[in-house]
Structure 1
Amino acid sequence: MKRVPVLLLVVVLLTGILTGCGNPVESFNKASEKTERVNSAKVKFSSNVNMEFYEDSFTAEEKKELGKYKKVTVQGEYYFDKSKKENLNKINFNLAGKGVDLKIYGRKGETYIVTPLLPKILVIKKMILNPSRCREMLRCLLAFSMHRGRKTLTSLFRRKP
């Protein structure tokens, strides 16, 4: 009588060991194929980001301003429809204690950005990010936020002597 539960346990364990969970690469490939077949979806996301900056090249005033942007909370929704080649991102950033809403529309290769920070809709035909300009762009945005728009954006992009 005691042998039946032990024998049953051994059979179950052996079956589990011999069949296993399958090949992980094969499982990943199947999941990827299923994901690619999805034609439209809605995704909600939320993230807390702690940013670190290389502050060596910034002034004391710029470092103080950067400190406000070290913690960022991002929440949003992403919708897409492959058949229409359209997508919509509704994003809310919490930067320096202030909420910033942003909508990014994508349609047939063009991107449209709508935010209260810009007076018009920004249309992007192609987006190319040049890493060598990132620090300069960050400096520009910091200066713009510190001076509250008293300088023009073109003057902020000029390098300091």
Structure 2
Amino acid sequence: MKTVLKKLVVFVVTAAVILSGNVSTGKAASKGYVFKYKGVSVQMHSDASKLIKKAGKVLKKKETKSCSYKGLDRVYQYKDFILVTYSNSKNGKQYVNGIKFRNKNVSTKEGIKIGSSLNSVINKYGKAKDNFGVYTYKKGKSKLQFEITNEKVTTIQYVGI
């Protein structure tokens, strides 16, 4: 039951951030956390096109009209992570709004991945408040969230704010 509640809290927080309209106009990337994959580095609110090209085969893609602006929200599911983007118009440039790890094949720039210990997270990022097993770090216009179960990282996600 406690694990289900944790996952629900993480889902609700992520959905609220994505749908809240707290997205930038896409004119400049934030000075926040960096996600690096196959030689491509992105931050929240930065251009998503290079990451989309390098990420490989899309397993699933969902596109919805934004309720916050005239663009589209897109969710790309890849083997190693899920990418959430937004655009300011239907055919406009896509910007990164969230990344969620799916397995141990990817890590944060600082080397934390699913399965890492809570102590490793604290050593790399410092202390954070435990909110139902979710540890959130803020930097620039981004959050980096770690869900911890039994002292191990079970979920990692970058969220644009």
TM-score range for the pair, normalised by the shorter chain length: under 0.3
Larger Cα-atom Rg = 1
More helix by share: 1
In the superposition, the TM-score normalised over structure 1's length comes to 0.25
